[in-house]
Structure 1
Amino acid sequence: MKTKFFANAILGAGLCCAQVLASGLKSSDIEGFAAPESVFVDSSFIYVSNIGAKPEPLAKDGDGFISKLDKNGNFIERAFIENLNASKGMARLDDRLFVVDIDTLYAFDVRSKKQALKLPINGAVFLNDIAVLDSDTLLISDTGTGIIHKINLANNAIEEFYKLDMSEFGGGNGLAIDKKNNALIIAGYHPDGASGGKVMRLNLASKKLETLLDTKGAYDGVAVLENGDVLVSSWGENLQGVIYRINNGKVSALELPFMQGPADFFVDKNTLYIPKMLENKVQKVELK
């Protein structure tokens, strides 16, 4: 996600404007968010983290929240979890929904909504996304420092797993596990908003880093498809955001209209949920 942007007004709530794009992809927008940054989907529900009415991703202003929707895109609770600051990446383990918020990792019980964990990460400045390594371990990106933190949930121990050279790669933004290659895919974004980042693959065993997309950009969300292709979002030039597909070194853009602020998206089987932060919408796209 970006650190500098202009927000549009909230345009209502609920599923709107279903259409078939020229590419043949079916698309619709879900409206009613407040700077949506991340989407997580489980078997029954859609969760969307919102930075808040004041779209300031590093402000501890208490107006961040998580929305809960059904799989049809209807709000169940717009503010399912409240009183966060600038909530971003999410993950779920059992009944715990994890979310990062500037410098702290939280977990909430998805049934009772009660806080199950509050874990400040010393030195963190811009926590952004979460990848689940196993049932006891999370990897968390800090875009502001370039550090990938490793969290042991059994004892809440925190360690530095890897540190990116930010001048070369940017800070880690979106994270995704590549099981086939035992690797972590990292979408790089430089917090100065100008230098740009790259898309990388980090071997989880050797910690060897390789570049998947060398062209510098404002990369945000990332996902690995079942066939091994990597999808990554870019804020693009002049807020003309795109979703790229990386397939064996070949890069192509999905045939979608330009979007403003495509952030930490989620792939649920053949459905792509893209939070369009600057439009206060989540775009739902049926992939072929």
Structure 2
Amino acid sequence: MSFLKDKKLFIAVAIFSFVLISGFKLVKENEVIGLKHPESAFFYNGYLYVSNIGSSPISQNEDGFITKLDEYGNILEYKFIDKLKAPKGIFAYDGKLYIADLDRLCIYDLKKKSLSCRPIESSRFLNDICVVDGDAYITDTENNLIYRVDKKGRVDVFYRWDYDFAPNGIVFLKSKGVFFVVSFNSPTIEMISRSGKPLKSFKLKGLTGFDGICVANGKVFVSDYTRGEVIQTDTSFDSYTLIRSFKTPVADLCVFDDELFAPLIEKNKLLIGRIR
């Protein structure tokens, strides 16, 4: 991925209306500008958290950080958590923020305001993360596998591909007890059981490779990184609807109460818009 030069921090709010396929609209768009290659967004307890990779997605120089915003996109703390390597996926669970930070798992206690990090041995490119009952599941795009870090900090390989799947976004669907994992290399979504068994593979025609996936209100939202698009589908993956074409890479998106939070990683900004 190519990165643009840093921009001075400011917030620009613009309001648009777009008529999209099947009558969908993305309205009241807010743009948060001046981030440093935002990769992932997660909404938790009334606040939005955004990971900023920093200078490079593979850097060890600890210039990555997490930004804290309110629900409207106002930045409350630009470097809420700093001195991270190259943070990507984030997930909040039980008062803690879990961060996939290149080759380690970092956990920030929101109440105690303390950060602890543990290296994941042999990991190369930790990407997205989700937490289920206290266990963290982290994709490693370069190693083509998913690590599991349990409540006691024990690490094992939960799932491994024997080809270049390049796992990126991961989400757990509690109602079905399955994981959905998207491929960065192709428009493919794989369904994996809670016990780590492959169940089904879905391929969406007309798309390229995916970055983020999230489930909200029974709908599935996926970002196509190369095409710069966000689509909406369901767990059958039989068809999809285009929500928005940004014409720039979209990273690990988040949808909460029909509000879309889309990190535009190469534009150094986050877009917030309501889907209706």
Once the 2 structures are TM-superposed, how far is the Cα of residue 93 of structure 1 from its aligned partner? 2.0
Look up the equivalent residue of 2:71 and give its one-letter code: K
Once the 2 structures are TM-superposed, how far is the Cα of residue 65 of structure 1 from its aligned partner? 0.5
Once the 2 structures are TM-superposed, how far is the Cα of residue 197 of structure 1 from its aligned partner? 5.6
SS at match of 1:251: coil
Look up the equivalent residue of 2:208 and give its one-letter code: G
Tell me, which stretches of 5 or more residues in structure 2 are unaligned? none
Q: Is the 8 A contact 2:230 2:245 kept in 1?
A: no
Q: How does 1:40-79 map to 2 (within 5 A)?
A: 40-52=42-54, 54=55, 56-79=56-79
Name the counterpart of 1:145: 143
Q: Is the 8 A contact 1:273 1:283 kept in 2?
A: yes
Q: Is the 8 A contact 1:19 1:28 kept in 2?
A: no
Once the 2 structures are TM-superposed, how far is the Cα of residue 130 of structure 1 from its aligned partner? 0.9
Identify if the C-alpha distance between structure 1 residues 253 and 5 changes in structure 2 by more than 3 Å, giving closer, same or farther.
Answer: farther
Once the 2 structures are TM-superposed, how far is the Cα of residue 28 of structure 1 from its aligned partner? 2.3
Question: How far apart in 2 are the matches of 1:86 and 1:208?
Answer: 30
Q: How does 1:151-162 map to 2 (within 5 A)?
A: 151-153=149-151, 155-162=152-159
Look up the equivalent residue of 2:179 and give its one-letter code: L
Once the 2 structures are TM-superposed, how far is the Cα of residue 69 of structure 1 from its aligned partner? 0.8
Identify if the C-alpha distance between structure 1 residues 206 and 85 changes in structure 2 by more than 3 Å, giving closer, same or farther.
Answer: closer
Name the counterpart of 1:234: 224
Tell me, which stretches of 5 or more residues in structure 1 are unaligned? 191-195
Name the counterpart of 2:18: 21
Stretches of 4+ moved more than 6 A in 1?
Answer: none
Look up the equivalent residue of 1:284 and give its one-letter code: I
Aligned partner of 1:281 among 261, 269, 272? 269
Name the % identity. Answer: 28
Q: Is the 8 A contact 1:95 1:109 kept in 2?
A: yes
SS at match of 2:266: helix
Look up the equivalent residue of 1:30 and give its one-letter code: V
Question: How far apart in 1 are the matches of 2:137 and 2:196?
Answer: 16
Name the counterpart of 1:243: 230
SS at match of 2:16: strand
Once the 2 structures are TM-superposed, how far is the Cα of residue 180 of structure 1 from its aligned partner? 2.3
Once the 2 structures are TM-superposed, how far is the Cα of residue 251 of structure 1 from its aligned partner? 2.7
Q: Is the 8 A contact 1:64 1:85 kept in 2?
A: yes
Once the 2 structures are TM-superposed, how far is the Cα of residue 222 of structure 1 from its aligned partner? 0.1
Q: Is the 8 A contact 1:91 1:98 kept in 2?
A: yes
Aligned partner of 1:198 among 174, 188, 198? 188
Do residues 131 (structure 1) and 130 (structure 2) align?
yes
Once the 2 structures are TM-superposed, how far is the Cα of residue 259 of structure 1 from its aligned partner? 3.7
Look up the equivalent residue of 1:279 and give its one-letter code: K
1:61-109 Cα shifts (integer Å, max 9, x gaps): 2110000111121111101111111111111122221101111000112
Question: How far apart in 2 are the matches of 1:35 and 1:219?
Answer: 17
Once the 2 structures are TM-superposed, how far is the Cα of residue 261 of structure 1 from its aligned partner? 1.7
Aligned pair count?
269
Name the counterpart of 2:209: 218
Name the counterpart of 1:193: none
Question: How far apart in 2 are the matches of 1:278 and 1:173?
Answer: 17
Question: How far apart in 1 are the matches of 2:160 and 2:137?
Answer: 12
Look up the equivalent residue of 1:222 and give its one-letter code: I
Larger mean CA deviation between 80-89 and 207-216 belongs to 207-216
Once the 2 structures are TM-superposed, how far is the Cα of residue 252 of structure 1 from its aligned partner? 2.5
Identify if the C-alpha distance between structure 1 residues 22 and 11 changes in structure 2 by more than 3 Å, giving closer, same or farther.
Answer: farther
1:216-255 Cα shifts (integer Å, max 9, x gaps): 732100012322x32111123xxx3111222333332424
Question: How far apart in 1 are the matches of 2:39 and 2:237?
Answer: 28
Aligned partner of 2:198 among 194, 208, 215? 208
SS at match of 1:278: helix
Normalised TM-score (structure 1): 0.87
Name the counterpart of 2:90: 90
Once the 2 structures are TM-superposed, how far is the Cα of residue 204 of structure 1 from its aligned partner? 1.7
Name the counterpart of 1:258: 246
SS at match of 1:123: coil
C-alpha RMSD of matched pairs (Å):
1.8
SS at match of 2:239: strand
Do residues 180 (structure 1) and 181 (structure 2) align?
no
Q: Is the 8 A contact 2:204 2:237 kept in 1?
A: no
Q: Is the 8 A contact 1:141 1:172 kept in 2?
A: yes
1:144-198 Cα shifts (integer Å, max 9, x gaps): 1011111112x2101111002333xx221111111222110101114xxxxx362
Normalised TM-score (structure 2): 0.91
